[in-house]
Amino acid sequence: MAYDSNNIFAKIVRGEAPAFKVYEDDHTIAFMDIMPQVEGHVLVIPKEGGETIFDISDDAAAALVKTTKKVAAAVKKVVDAPGVMLAQLNGSAAGQTVFHVHFHIIPRSGGIDLKLHAREKADFEQLKALAAKIAAAIV
């Protein structure tokens, strides 16, 4: 499948779609998942377009991992999570639903089940407030 430059993440990169951003630099953007599996679920995308990790440059992949690490530390701190799950899916067979490479940062605590992905939208005011807290915690 060819990369669709009109996917929602590509639109976020171009500023054509809104997002509750927690971080942005020259190569990446991190923002709240509007259908989170748990509180604090954040997505990190490269600005370079590509469906999977195999479709982006090594430089874009390196920037993506660097930003994911930085943002994950802030998410862990803000939601006081003892653990963080990082998920990166490649292709529909792996469960990918938006075909622009991305990482999921999912805070984890013992005994807290994950919601099914992409099933229920979160309260946008709560996402906005949490995004501000995570953004403030990024070093």
Q: Which CATH number fits domain 8-137: 3.40.50.1950, 3.30.560.10, 3.30.428.10, 3.40.50.970?
A: 3.30.428.10
Q: What pLDDT band is residue 55 in, cutting at 50, 70 and 90? A: very high
pLDDT over 70, % of the chain: 93
Q: Per residue in 98-134, pLDDT tens?
A: 999 999 999 998 766 666 566 689 999 999 999 999 9
**pLDDT the model gives residue 110:** 79
Instruction: Tell whether the torsion through CA atoms of 25, 12, 105 and 134 is positive or negative.
Output: positive
Specify the DSSP class assigned to residue 3. Answer: -
From 41, 100, 102, 104, the catalytic residue: 102
**pLDDT the model gives residue 118:** 62
Q: Per residue in 21-33, pLDDT tens?
A: 999 999 999 999 9
User: Strand 42-46 to strand 21-24: parallel, antiparallel, or no bridges (unpaired)?
Assistant: unpaired
Query: Quick check: is 27 catalytic?
Result: no
Domain-by-domain residue ranges, the chain?
A: 8-137
Residues 6+ apart with CB under 8 A from 123: none
Q: What strand order describes the sheet that includes 83-87?
A: 21-24, 28-32, 42-46, 103-108, 83-87
